[in-house]
């Protein structure tokens, strides 16, 4: 909204009676999911905004499109919005994104999530991969302060492989050996008190000191206090 239009809007609000102001406040309090999503996207871009084509930090506003502010890069002259170059670019139905994120958090299947938020199963499948692709890139560069780290192990999956060196398992199955073995993949997770989280797949079998040195050490700040269990590594 332009400054002139905004000033005129403020003058109209001043002229409202008590009942009209209460109705306006109630409408602003219960913003639609579409509005919340757009505000979240725009606020994130205002903090970390760069041209997705040339990484130039100098740009100016260039109209609106699909509810989002468009920008024009001063360097390469190309236009873009806050989602250009991200996995969420060109996805429709922004007003249903928050509900779909809740469905992902609840670990609903593709079809159940589609039925719950009112989209097709194809859309649900596409959204799931786009959202997960975006989440996988959302990692902090450095962990600060008190940082806790631990590892977990999952059976290695060869789903889709045409050549197996073992008998196929059904619904997870069990390892043929007791304890931690090369049949299991190690996943290392570290998190500081600010909620910043990083994770690594260190390989199969027990985690080693060299694995920690190559994965965890580069993301720990010099003043970080690492808290872990009594693992030898």
178: which 2 tokens? 């007791």
In this structure, the answer to whether residues 185 and 123 fall within a common structural domain is no
Which pLDDT band, with edges at 50, 70 and 90, does 14 fall under? low
What span, in angstroms and rounded, lies between the C-alpha atoms of 114 and 121? 5
What span, in angstroms and rounded, lies between the C-alpha atoms of 212 and 198? 13
pLDDT at 47: 63
Domain membership of residue 107 (yes or no) is: yes
Domain membership of residue 233 (yes or no) is: yes
What span, in angstroms and rounded, lies between the C-alpha atoms of 191 and 103? 24
Judge if pTM exceeds 0.75: no
Residue at a domain's end among 108, 136, 164: 136
In this structure, the answer to whether residues 99 and 147 fall within a common structural domain is no
pLDDT at 150: 94
Q: How does the average pLDDT of the chain come out, rounded?
A: 82
In this structure, the answer to whether residues 77 and 145 fall within a common structural domain is no
In this structure, the answer to whether residues 199 and 231 fall within a common structural domain is yes
pLDDT digits over 76-133, tens only?
999 998 888 777 777 788 778 888 888 888 888 999 999 998 989 999 998 888 888 7
CATH number of the domain at 227, please.
3.30.720
In this structure, the answer to whether residues 146 and 83 fall within a common structural domain is no
Residue 78 burial class via C-beta count within 10 angstroms: exposed 0-12, middle 13-18, buried 19 and up: middle
Q: How many domains does the chain have?
A: 2
Q: 51 lies in which domain range?
A: 33-136
Which pLDDT band, with edges at 50, 70 and 90, does 216 fall under? very high
Distances (CA, A) of 8 to 13, 151, 201, 229, 233: 9, 58, 57, 62, 66
Which pLDDT band, with edges at 50, 70 and 90, does 12 fall under? low
Residue percentage of the chain with pLDDT more than 90: 30
3 state DSSP class of 37 = helix
3 state DSSP class of 202 = strand
In this structure, the answer to whether residues 144 and 132 fall within a common structural domain is no
In this structure, the answer to whether residues 222 and 131 fall within a common structural domain is no
Please report which helix (H) or strand (E) contains residue 82, including its range.
none
141: which 2 tokens? 């560069």
148 pLDDT more than 90: yes
Neighbouring C-beta atoms of residue 179, cutoff 10 Å = 8
Residue at a domain's end among 76, 102, 136: 136
């Amino acid at each position: 909204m332009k400054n002139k239009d905004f000033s005129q809007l403020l003058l109209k609000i001043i002229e409202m009676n008590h009942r009209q102001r209460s109705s306006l406040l109630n409408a602003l309090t219960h913003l639609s999911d579409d509005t919340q999503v757009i505000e979240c996207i725009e606020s994130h871009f205002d903090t970390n905004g760069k041209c997705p084509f040339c990484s130039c930090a100098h740009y100016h506003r260039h109209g609106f499109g699909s509810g989002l502010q468009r920008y024009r890069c001063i360097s390469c002259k190309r236009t873009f919005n806050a989602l250009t170059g991200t996995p969420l670019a060109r996805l429709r139905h922004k007003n249903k994104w928050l509900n779909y994120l809740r469905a992902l958090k609840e670990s609903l299947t593709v079809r159940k999530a589609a039925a719950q938020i009112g989209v097709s199963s194809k859309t649900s499948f596409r959204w799931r991969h786009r959202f997960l692709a975006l989440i996988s890139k959302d990692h902090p560069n450095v962990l600060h302060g008190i940082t806790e780290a631990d590892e977990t192990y999952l059976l290695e999956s060869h789903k889709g492989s045409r050549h197996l060196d073992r008998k196929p398992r059904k619904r997870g199955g069990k390892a043929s050996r007791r304890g931690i073995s090369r049949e299991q993949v190690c996943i290392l997770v570290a998190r500081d008190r600010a909620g910043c989280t990083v994770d690594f797949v260190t390989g199969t079998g027990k985690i080693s000191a060299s694995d920690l040195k190559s994965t965890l050490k580069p993301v720990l700040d010099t003043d970080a206090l690492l808290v872990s269990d009594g693992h030898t590594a």
